[in-house]
Amino acid sequence: MTDQCVPEEFTLTGASKNFIAITATESGEHIRPLHRYLGIRLVVEGGFLPEEIAPTPPLKSEFQGGAWYLRFDPTAENKKEQIVLGALKSKRIDIVAAKEGIGPVLAVSVKGTSKAFRNLVNRTEEAIGDCANIHIMYPGLVYGFVHFLRATGTTDLTLKPNDILLGKDGDVLPSVRDYARILEGLAGRMLVRNDYSRYESVALAVLKSDAVEGELPLLRDFPVPGSPLSLDSFFATLYRVYDLRFSYTYTDPGVKHLKRVVWHRDSPVISSLCDKNAARSQTDYSPRVSGE
């Protein structure tokens, strides 16, 4: 398996390049690679079949000899987003996992902000309404919200004060910290009868605009390590809630396809991660594999 087969969006480092170097946002091309990264991670780390994900990543799953294998397949990619019916209006959600005969079971809404950071709090009303709209129609849907911020600082003299995220000391501005506290309050929904306006999981990812080539661009000290808003915590919570919500699949063979799969360690995708040349990709998550 050659390096050329590995999609750039396989890692956060590759997926964030357009967002970090942003010059215009109208086309959405600055944020779509990050959507692809999240979708690929749901497959490789989360154990969802790529065929169940929309937009569909360039991956293909195969069941052979009682085991699941995952390989790269550029022809399998489909960039079309899934329309999900809400209680008040339909919505094209950025990433959706849907199970045959069941419908959408997990979804992730993504936002990206590169300026006007003092207006972040105003975005929460939209996020709350979006969450309630979907959960009223699909109470069992595991819904996540990820917000990417571009970390610009005072050293960039071309920026207006409202477009600066980091202060002179390199710390995140108070308005952004206030927004993080609000986001924490929007997460934590566990059971289907719980508050529809709360997400199951929420993440805030701050990407450094001056990241060195090949370096993981995440700002490491905000959110603080172990924060529920970190991307690692975000995905771990999504998987935990999903497994809790569909725990009966272990006893009912009629819906066993709801269970997250485990990839065989000899899968081409998994093998590529063990290749020495692939170490340069700075993979920031661990695949869900057998034989560990």
β-bridge pairing 91-93 and 67-72:
unpaired
How far apart CA 126 and CA 77 sit, in angstroms, is: 30
pTM of the model: 0.91
pLDDT for the residue 278:
47
Could you tell me how far CA 173 lies from the centroid of its own chain? 24
**What are the pLDDT tens digits along the chain (292 aa)?**
334 468 889 999 999 999 988 755 555 788 999 999 999 999 999 999 999 999 999 999 999 999 999 999 999 999 999 999 999 999 999 999 999 999 999 999 999 988 777 778 878 889 999 999 999 999 999 999 999 999 886 666 567 777 778 877 778 888 888 899 999 999 999 999 999 999 999 999 999 887 667 678 898 889 988 899 999 999 999 999 999 998 876 677 788 889 999 999 999 998 887 654 444 445 789 999 985 4
Place of tokens 């790529």: 50
**Angle CA(49)–CA(50)–CA(56) in degrees, nearest 5?**
150
Query: Vertex 231, ends 73 and 218: CA angle to 5°?
Result: 95
